[in-house]
Structure formats: C-alpha cells, structure tokens
Structure 1
Amino acid sequence: MRVAVPDWEGRVSPVFDVAKQVLLVDLGHPDNGNRRWETLGTALPHERARRLAELGVQVLVCGAISWPLEALLAAAGIRVVPLICGEVEEVVRAFRDGTLENERFMMPGCCGKRQQARRRRRHRGGGLTPKDSL
C-alpha cells in the first residue's frame, strides 16, 4: 500500500492544499523502507489529485484539507485520513501500526474532532471515516 504524507519541516503539513512535498511510503515493502520525497508543485486541486494518482498513492494521511480537493481525491480512488498532526515519521509508524487514532495525532482545536469529521462525511453522502481508512 502506498501512503503519502505531506511534509512541512518534518511535521505533517497543517493544510494539504498548499503543501509543497509529500513523503511516499510503500508499506508493502518487506522493511517498509521503500520511501521517497515527491514535489507537488501546484496548488490547483485537480492537478494535485491527478499527481497523487499518477504516483500510485492509495492513502493520503494529512492535516486539514478542503472539501473540493478531498472529493477529487476520493473520485481518484485515494482514501483520505484528515485532521492528523505530528512528526511525519511518527505518523507513518502509527499508520502502519494501526495507532493513528491516538489523541496525540489529532489536530489541535475543539474536542470531538473525529466525530465532526464523521458527520461531515455523512452529510456529504457517506464515505469512509478516518478509522475505516486504517
């Protein structure tokens, strides 16, 4: 499974829509060592979605993301796990280990962030919750 995590100075970029680069990690690799950095280059949502699809990304673990970009990624078959923060390497490890639901990886703000994300998806016609993406 190829996972992309947007990076900003070693941490998950707070807003994916303007992130300049992503770390790509192939979790199916025997030692999870197949990883590389890719530049996104553009802020246009449809071009970002197309770029991730071209890179073979199956899951995007990110901070905040606009609804239009999230919808484009979903249409491209890319699962989005939003509202995540922390050191990129720790987030990748937590995703791999199934512990990304830990509160320390939730973006700061009001309580119940995961519940709000679930309601937002349900309102838009269903879809995966962050827990389903793991």
Structure 2
Amino acid sequence: MFDVAGTVVLMDADGGMNTSNLGGPADSPQSRIAFLEDHQVDVLICGAISRPLIQQAEAHGIQVQAFVSGEIHDVLEAFKSNQLDQPGFSMPGCRRCQRRQGRCH
C-alpha cells in the first residue's frame, strides 16, 4: 500500500530506474506527495492506495494508476504501451479496476 510503503522505484523518461527511501508508515500523506513533487513525478503506478492520497496526488497534477499488480518490468512495459488496463495487471480480487477513480469494483 502506497500509504505505508518504505521505498519507491523511480523511472525517468529514458528508462533509467533507481530505488529511493520514501519514509516510514508514520510519515504524513503530505510528505509522500512532497517527495513525488520533489522528484518531478508525473505518474504514480502503485498497488493499493487510500482515496485521500489519490486525491492529494491528483490535486498536485500527478496521475495515479492504482491497484496495479505484476512484475515491475512487465508493468512498466505495459504502461509504456498503454496496456495497463489489461486484467493481468489488476490486483488480486479486483474483478474490474477503475484506476482513474482509484478503486476496484
């Protein structure tokens, strides 16, 4: 869950990746959004995430692709080819994910 994740993988437009410390579970949602802004993140791809954190990210211009599951390289390739909506990338238990709204039905 992004709200309590300790690390984040950042990928730049050229495909370079690095892992960064995001903070601990006690960190405020605002500090998580500030981290994303400081690193000029345009899109957040994650598994579970709370609705308030989705709203904060989107209010700061960060597109959220939530409830995504899979191997990181497969997820990134699917994102680049606009295929993240395929059922194989939905978190287990999600029959139909509406990532734009950040919730599963």
TM-score, structure 1 normalization? 0.68
Correspondence 1:87-106 to 2 at 5 A: 87-106=71-90
| C-alpha displacement of 1:110 | 4.3
Cα distance change of structure 1 residues 101 and 110 upon mapping to structure 2, 3 Å threshold? closer
Cα distance change of structure 1 residues 40 and 102 upon mapping to structure 2, 3 Å threshold? same
Letter in 2 for 1:35: M
Larger Rg: 1
Q: Which runs of 4+ in 1 moved over 3 A?
A: none
2:2 is matched with which residue?
A: 16
Length, aligned pairs only: 100
TM-score, structure 2 normalization? 0.85
Q: 2:67 aligns with which of 80, 83, 94?
A: 83
Q: What do you get for the CA RMSD once the two structures are aligned?
A: 1.7
2:21 is matched with which residue?
A: 39
Letter in 2 for 1:38: S
2:51 is matched with which residue?
A: 67
**Secondary structure at the residue paired with 1:47?**
helix
Aligned residues: percent identity?
38
CA distance in 2, matches of 1:101, 1:47: 29
Unaligned regions of 5+ residues in structure 2, if any?
Answer: none
